[in-house]
A and B are shown apart, each in its own frame.
Chain A
Amino acid sequence: MKYLLLIFKNVGRNLLRSLLTALGTMVLVLVVTLVWSILSLIDKATEEKSKDFKAIVTERWSMPSRMPFKYERALAEGAARENHPEDTRPTDSMAWRFFVGTLDNENRSFRNTMFGLACNPDKLLTMMDGLENMPQNQEDEMRGAVARLKSKRDGIIVGRDHLKNLNAIIGNAGDSTLQNPIGRRFKLTGIASFTGLDFEFEIVGIFPPGRYDNFTAFNQGYYLDTIDAYPQSHGKRPHVLADRNLSLFWLKVPNKDAYNRIVDQITSSPEFKDPEVKIETASSGVGSFMEAYRDLLKGMRWLLAPACIITLALVLANAISISVRERRTELAVMKVLGFRPGQIVLLVLGESVFLGLLAGLASAGATYAVINWWLGGVKFPIAFFDSFFIPVNAIGWGAAVGAGAALAGSLVPAWFASRVKPAEVFAKVG
């Protein structure tokens, strides 16, 4: 205990230096905590599950995917053949049809553009990631929204960020769309390949906060009817998406074996040859999506984080070296009093690790509190990812990184401290 007190008092010997060292440690631990948290989130998303996972079916050679409308029915069965009960069928499925529109076609901007999903409302509660395990109050709200969406053909469920933009564009002062969104109406004009598809929606619900803040969902029946009505006002020409409007198809499978059998069924079926489709697990789908960011993520994992840790070790090494040099006489006195070289090493290492551990813990803890509690998560700027939160075990990483870097950085100064020769020191001093 007294030894710890000596370590603690030595850290307080030069408060300014200890504080600056701690601050440097905290900044570097912050970077490492953020990097590892992001990588942890991505690793989790790309991690292969062993059961109850989802598979995505998309066009093999084209992106964005536009599969024919006729694929939907067969895909919902996992390409299982009629009268073949031995064929494997998915436990659930969901068709996604994308739509992009603007609230103001004359002055298009990122802010007035909305990304929408035309789908079967029932599937929102069973097939959408993150919505399957909501807190009870959010689940109740979502169920109500889905019920209203089913009963209202032109209904739409919007994400919170879209709601804010809507409030700014169509809200009135004193009558905020944010406070009373249900029942508000707005128009969306299709853009890019959705040009010519114009909708008028009524808000029937709000997505829970998180990954769907920039999302909307509406009835696929309304979407398909609008596509079908297009020729009437466009010289009997069908819309470019008339036949090929199926963007993604999700399948829920109970286990890896079922997945593999469904893959065989779909890839061997003659129904999906023009265009060809590919099927992959959601995690590998995410992985493929992340391929574009591969070099960036690699750089973060293998360059940025290690560079920060090495820099941290050097910062602490520098601080401890200065401290050891300043205390050469003191260390010599301690040796005269009977402290062994090993005890001197432990003393120096103890000071460094104590400082590194405290600073690392404080940094990771503060990062956790600020990002998770104060900011409510940081929106990940990549589609379909939930807001990024710091996992609770990051607090442990921060402490470990701080302490570990301190230990590594102070090994050499500690060794030199243990080699101080009292006879040489006092020959100069005396």
Chain B
Amino acid sequence: MTHSNTPIVRVEHVHKYFRRGSERVDVLQDLTLEVPEGEFLGLMGPSGSGKTTLLNLIAGIDTPSEGKVWVQQELISEMSEGRLAHWRTRHVGFIFQFYHLLPVLSAYENVELPLLLLGLSAAQRRQQVMTALDLVGLSDRIRHRPGQLSGGQQQRVGIARAIVTDPALIVADEPTGDLDSKSAEEILDLLVELRKALQKTILMVTHDPRAARHADRILHLEKGQLVEQAVVA
């Protein structure tokens, strides 16, 4: 798979720390990286290494203590909360480890949720929702609530929700962490297929080396710093 030369994500000298009383806890330390458009990037590392934090910074749901983050040439690290929320709806699709579907909504309504923020007509929303559900193979489950779906099916709905707004960037935080190996493999294959078909850039945090094999490149983090990167053969 060839990637565009223009990096879709640029992280420059990013630090992220928290204060616990007088103590400063460094989560990310002087991190710099670029992600070319169309790449499937895996982020690995032990617990507490900062990989989820890095994902959150790139997805715009957290801001760095120092440094800059660009996504699609937009400096998201300096956007206000309101502007970031607006930006996320259009530019980022997030896939959670535990799916985090709203239990009171059907599969259709869960996928439709981000579209409610875009001012589309009901017909336009319907078209996009059905397209997304078709892509993940769940168009026959649109009225089912999350409680009526298996783990794998719920994650497919989660993926559909992540792609329904046609974002350029998809971030996935351990998307197969709560699935059995068969379902996990299906989800990863789906992600790869979507990346190819829709030309999406995917950033995935994972502990699982088998999951990481689906990525184009793997970055290892340790104690908030990049220690190694490897291109997957």
A19 within 8 A of B: no
Residue A289 at the chain B interface, CB threshold 8 Å: no
Residue in contact with A10 in the complex, picked from B81, B90, B104, B113, CB distance below 8 Å: B104
The answer to whether B52 touches A330 (Cβ under 8 A) is no
Among A265-273, A312-320, A332-340, A397-405, the stretch in contact with B: A332-340
Q: Which positions 1-39 of chain A face chain B at CB distance < 8 Å?
A: 2-3, 5-6, 9-10, 12-13
Shortest CB distance A12–B (Å): 7
Q: Assess whether B85 is interfacial by the CB under 8 Å rule.
A: yes
Please give the distance in Å from B26's CB to the nearest CB on chain A.
15
Cβ-based interface call for A382 (8 A): no
Interface residues of B in 133-165 (CB under 8 A from A): 161
- Specify which of B103, B112, B174 lies most central, judged by the most chain A CB atoms within 10 Å of its CB: B103
* Cα of A208 to Cα of B97 in the assembled complex, Å: 75
Is the C-beta of B59 less than 8 angstroms from some C-beta in chain A? yes
Known: A2-B116, A338-B117. A333 touches B105 (CB 8 A): no
When A3-B116, A338-B114 are in contact, do A427 and B52 touch as well, CB less than 8 Å? yes
Q: Are A339 and B117 in contact (CB under 8 A)?
A: yes
For B171, give the chain A residue with the smallest CB separation: A336
Which listed residue, B62, B82, B86, B117, touches A423 by the CB 8 Å rule?
A: B62
What's the nearest-Cβ distance from chain A to residue B60, in Å? 9
B100 x A329 contact (CB < 8 A)? yes
B160 to chain A, nearest CB (A): 13
Contacts of B96 in A (CB 8 A): 333, 426
Residues of B within 8 A of A6 (CB): 104-105
Q: A160-189 interface mask toward B, CB cutoff 8 Å, 1 = contact, 0 = none? A: 000000000000000000000000000000
Contacts of B174 in A (CB 8 A): 430
> CB-defined interface of B88-119 with A at 8 Å, one 1/0 digit per residue?
11100010111010111100010011101100
Contact of A338 among B56, B89, B97 (CB under 8 A): B89
The answer to whether A422 touches B56, judged by C-beta atoms less than 8 angstroms apart, is: yes
State whether A338 and B52 are in contact (beta carbons under 8 Å apart), knowing that A3-B116, A13-B104 are contacts in the complex: no
B61 within 8 A of A: yes
The verdict on A192 contacting chain B, using a C-beta distance below 8 Å, is no
Is A341 part of the binding interface, using a Cβ–Cβ cutoff of 8 Å? yes
B37, CB-defined interface residue at 8 Å: no
A340 touches B52 (CB 8 A): no
Is A429 part of the binding interface, using a Cβ–Cβ cutoff of 8 Å?
A: yes
Q: Please report the C-alpha to C-alpha distance between residue A429 and residue B109 in the assembled complex, in whole angstroms.
A: 24
- Pairwise interchain contact B61-A336, C-beta atoms closer than 8 A: yes
B53 on the A face (CB < 8 A): yes
A3 to B114 Cα, complex, angstroms: 12
Contacts of B97 in A (CB 8 A): 429-430
Bound form: Cα–Cα A333–B112 in Å: 14
Inter-chain contact A339/B85, CB cutoff 8 Å: yes
CA distance A336 to B103 in the complex (A): 17
A341: B residues at CB distance < 8 A:
81-82, 85
Chain B CB within 10 Å — which of A12, A336, A339, A342 has the most? A336
B89 touches A430 (CB 8 A): no
Q: 3 shortest A-B CB distances, which residue pairs?
A: A338-B89, A423-B62, A9-B104
Can you report 19 A-B residue pairs in the complex whose CB atoms are below 8 A from each other? A2-B116, A3-B116, A6-B104, A9-B104, A9-B105, A333-B100, A333-B102, A335-B85, A336-B88, A337-B89, A338-B85, A339-B117, A340-B85, A341-B85, A342-B82, A426-B52, A429-B97, A430-B97, A430-B173
Point out residues on A near B: beta carbons under 8 Å: 2-3, 5-6, 9-10, 12-13, 329-330, 333-343, 421-423, 426-427, 429-430
Chain B residues with CB under 8 Å of chain A are: 52-53, 56, 59, 61-62, 81-82, 85-86, 88-90, 94, 96-98, 100, 102-105, 109, 112-114, 116-117, 161, 173-174
